[in-house]
Structure 1
Amino acid sequence: MKRFFILHYVLTMTTFTTDKPLTKRQFFLLVLYSFSFLLAGYFIITLFFPEKADAAPYSMGGTFLGTFFYLLQKDKVHEVRFDEESKELHFYSKGYLTKLRKMKTSFENMHVKKEDWESKSKWLPKRKILSIEILKEKTLVFTVNMNLDHFSEHKMRELISTFEANNIPVK
């Protein structure tokens, strides 16, 4: 009986997971990239603008610390689950150095705003933006962005169709 309950529970959950989860290695590589970029900027400033070289370490250090703390607090959506049986939406977010955090909300008074945009430039590379904002009445619960959260376009389209299948309005 217990095995049937677990199987039934798993079957009523529709899950969407990111294609590129956050890791500590990515965090340290981003910190290393930003540090090397700022160090190269410092050498360029001291080479071409020696009169401004005295203040450059302070501004570069402040920029580096700002970037470091931004990366520490940055959260991305890791997983979205639909529990059709209890009419709840579970989503999991994670930062580079934090554990997975779970939040849930009911389907009541929920609606979704969709932004679907593609660049039409002939000269620049094609860019596609597909993001959805999940709102509870007028309050933003969370946002899923195809580029920032690393969900594929196919998964994003399936996510939108799952919202529609559960009678959640998508605008």
Structure 2
Amino acid sequence: MNRLTRIAAGAAGAAALLAVPTQAGAAQSSATTTTTTVTTCGYGGLQAGVWTAVCADVTGTDVQLYGRISLAGPPSPGGPPLETRDLITGLSGQIVGGASLGSVSGYTRFTASTVKVTGVGGTVPCGSTVHGSFSVAGYPWGPSPVTLDVVVPC
């Protein structure tokens, strides 16, 4: 075998080896379905001196609701340190015209970092609308719930 014949044979062999994994990968990717998570948040609102919002993570027909608490604005430079606050929080969700997805309530400690309140959600029929509500209260302020309505796609 001369040198040119060996190079041609090597190139043909390499092409054959490279073609097999590509075809196998294509067959595998068409059989595998990936489900992405879509996060939707409602309009935020000021409650008990903090900024709040209710959000939903939708993965297929699974919906997980959560409330988010954060600072209403940047802290004052050189100002006093932010005090830790115990807030009374409530998170609830339901399928509009249907079953409850649950509710959680209790005390949530907040200083300056964003806090998530979780624990409400479940599997929902596709095409349904899910309603979520999140409330925060802290002396001397009462709650002023923020809400979200999200449609679960089919």
Work out whether the TM-score is over 0.5.
no
Give the structure with the higher percent strand.
2
Question: TM-score with structure 2 length normalisation?
Answer: 0.28
Structure with bigger helix share is 1
Q: Which has the larger radius of gyration?
A: 2
Of structures 1 and 2, the one with the larger relative CO (CA 8 A, separation 6+) is 2
